[in-house]
Amino acid sequence: MARRHLSGRNKQQLPKSVTDDRGEEIPVSKDAGTFIYLSEDGETWPKRPLVGLPLDLAWLQIGDVLQLKDLRPGFFMGQLSPVRLVDVRIEILIHPGKWGQVRRNVLAVPAETDDEYITAVQEGVNRA
Protein backbone atom coordinates (compact mmCIF):
# COMPACT_ATOMS: atom_id res chain seq x y z
CA MET A 1 0.00 0.00 0.00
CA ALA A 2 1.36 3.41 -0.96
CA ARG A 3 1.90 5.94 1.76
CA ARG A 4 -0.36 8.98 1.54
CA HIS A 5 0.86 12.48 2.22
CA LEU A 6 -0.63 14.21 5.25
CA SER A 7 -2.10 16.94 3.05
CA GLY A 8 -4.40 14.52 1.22
CA ARG A 9 -5.33 15.68 -2.27
CA ASN A 10 -3.31 18.30 -4.01
CA LYS A 11 -4.89 21.38 -5.58
CA GLN A 12 -4.99 19.86 -9.06
CA GLN A 13 -7.13 16.98 -7.84
CA LEU A 14 -9.66 19.14 -6.01
CA PRO A 15 -12.97 19.61 -7.82
CA LYS A 16 -13.75 23.11 -9.13
CA SER A 17 -17.38 22.73 -8.05
CA VAL A 18 -19.61 20.28 -6.21
CA THR A 19 -23.12 19.25 -7.25
CA ASP A 20 -25.78 19.33 -4.53
CA ASP A 21 -28.78 16.98 -4.24
CA ARG A 22 -30.86 19.09 -6.68
CA GLY A 23 -28.16 19.06 -9.35
CA GLU A 24 -27.01 22.68 -8.84
CA GLU A 25 -23.29 23.35 -8.92
CA ILE A 26 -21.77 24.96 -5.81
CA PRO A 27 -18.34 26.59 -6.29
CA VAL A 28 -15.64 25.21 -4.00
CA SER A 29 -14.24 28.27 -2.22
CA LYS A 30 -14.76 30.30 0.91
CA ASP A 31 -18.06 32.16 1.21
CA ALA A 32 -16.45 35.31 2.62
CA GLY A 33 -13.08 37.02 2.69
CA THR A 34 -11.39 40.22 3.85
CA PHE A 35 -8.52 41.58 1.77
CA ILE A 36 -6.25 44.30 3.18
CA TYR A 37 -4.52 46.60 0.69
CA LEU A 38 -1.69 48.87 1.85
CA SER A 39 -1.32 52.25 0.11
CA GLU A 40 1.09 55.11 0.70
CA ASP A 41 -1.20 57.94 -0.42
CA GLY A 42 -4.55 56.54 0.74
CA GLU A 43 -6.22 57.03 -2.64
CA THR A 44 -4.81 54.51 -5.12
CA TRP A 45 -5.63 50.84 -4.63
CA PRO A 46 -2.68 48.49 -5.25
CA LYS A 47 -3.18 45.67 -7.76
CA ARG A 48 -2.67 42.97 -5.13
CA PRO A 49 -3.67 42.82 -1.47
CA LEU A 50 -1.07 42.66 1.27
CA VAL A 51 -3.00 39.86 2.96
CA GLY A 52 -6.22 37.92 2.41
CA LEU A 53 -8.19 36.54 5.34
CA PRO A 54 -10.72 33.70 4.81
CA LEU A 55 -13.44 35.40 6.87
CA ASP A 56 -15.51 38.58 6.77
CA LEU A 57 -14.34 41.12 9.34
CA ALA A 58 -17.62 43.04 9.36
CA TRP A 59 -16.63 45.12 12.40
CA LEU A 60 -13.90 47.00 10.48
CA GLN A 61 -14.73 50.70 9.99
CA ILE A 62 -13.03 53.65 8.34
CA GLY A 63 -10.69 55.29 10.85
CA ASP A 64 -9.93 52.10 12.79
CA VAL A 65 -6.26 51.46 13.54
CA LEU A 66 -4.88 47.92 13.28
CA GLN A 67 -1.45 46.50 14.01
CA LEU A 68 0.04 44.31 11.30
CA LYS A 69 2.79 41.93 12.39
CA ASP A 70 5.04 40.79 9.56
CA LEU A 71 5.85 37.08 9.94
CA ARG A 72 7.49 36.63 6.54
CA PRO A 73 11.13 35.55 6.77
CA GLY A 74 13.41 38.47 6.15
CA PHE A 75 14.83 41.67 7.56
CA PHE A 76 11.55 43.03 9.00
CA MET A 77 10.25 39.76 10.47
CA GLY A 78 8.34 40.36 13.70
CA GLN A 79 7.94 44.10 13.13
CA LEU A 80 4.63 45.64 14.23
CA SER A 81 3.22 48.28 11.88
CA PRO A 82 0.17 50.34 12.88
CA VAL A 83 -2.11 51.14 9.92
CA ARG A 84 -5.25 53.27 9.67
CA LEU A 85 -8.21 52.21 7.51
CA VAL A 86 -9.22 54.85 4.97
CA ASP A 87 -11.68 53.01 2.70
CA VAL A 88 -13.84 49.88 2.80
CA ARG A 89 -15.46 48.42 -0.32
CA ILE A 90 -17.71 45.38 -0.30
CA GLU A 91 -18.12 43.16 -3.37
CA ILE A 92 -20.69 40.41 -3.84
CA LEU A 93 -19.45 37.72 -6.23
CA ILE A 94 -22.32 35.96 -7.99
CA HIS A 95 -21.78 32.42 -9.25
CA PRO A 96 -24.05 30.31 -11.49
CA GLY A 97 -27.16 29.29 -9.58
CA LYS A 98 -27.95 30.98 -6.28
CA TRP A 99 -24.50 30.87 -4.71
CA GLY A 100 -22.31 33.89 -4.06
CA GLN A 101 -19.50 35.21 -1.91
CA VAL A 102 -18.81 38.35 0.12
CA ARG A 103 -15.47 40.06 -0.47
CA ARG A 104 -14.56 42.96 1.83
CA ASN A 105 -11.70 45.08 0.42
CA VAL A 106 -10.01 47.36 2.95
CA LEU A 107 -7.55 50.15 2.05
CA ALA A 108 -5.08 51.05 4.78
CA VAL A 109 -2.27 53.60 5.13
CA PRO A 110 0.60 53.58 7.62
CA ALA A 111 -0.40 55.37 10.84
CA GLU A 112 1.56 58.60 11.23
CA THR A 113 2.63 58.24 14.87
CA ASP A 114 2.31 55.96 17.84
CA ASP A 115 0.19 58.65 19.53
CA GLU A 116 -2.44 58.26 16.81
CA TYR A 117 -2.53 54.52 17.50
CA ILE A 118 -2.85 55.01 21.26
CA THR A 119 -5.65 57.56 20.79
CA ALA A 120 -7.54 55.23 18.43
CA VAL A 121 -7.21 52.31 20.86
CA GLN A 122 -8.49 54.45 23.75
CA GLU A 123 -11.45 55.61 21.63
CA GLY A 124 -12.18 51.99 20.75
CA VAL A 125 -12.12 50.98 24.43
CA ASN A 126 -14.41 53.89 25.32
CA ARG A 127 -16.79 52.92 22.47
CA ALA A 128 -17.08 49.31 23.68
% residues pLDDT > 70 (the chain): 66
Residue of 35, 34, 37, 33 lying closest to 108 (CA atoms): 37
Considering only residues 33 and 10, tell me which one the structure prediction assigns the higher pLDDT: 33
For residue 93, what pLDDT band results from cuts at 50, 70 and 90?
A: confident
pLDDT at position 105: 95
pLDDT at position 95: 76
Considering only residues 59 and 22, tell me which one the structure prediction assigns the higher pLDDT: 59
CA 75, distance to chain mean position in Å, is: 24
Q: Is the four-CA dihedral 13, 36, 44, 90 of positive or negative sign?
A: positive
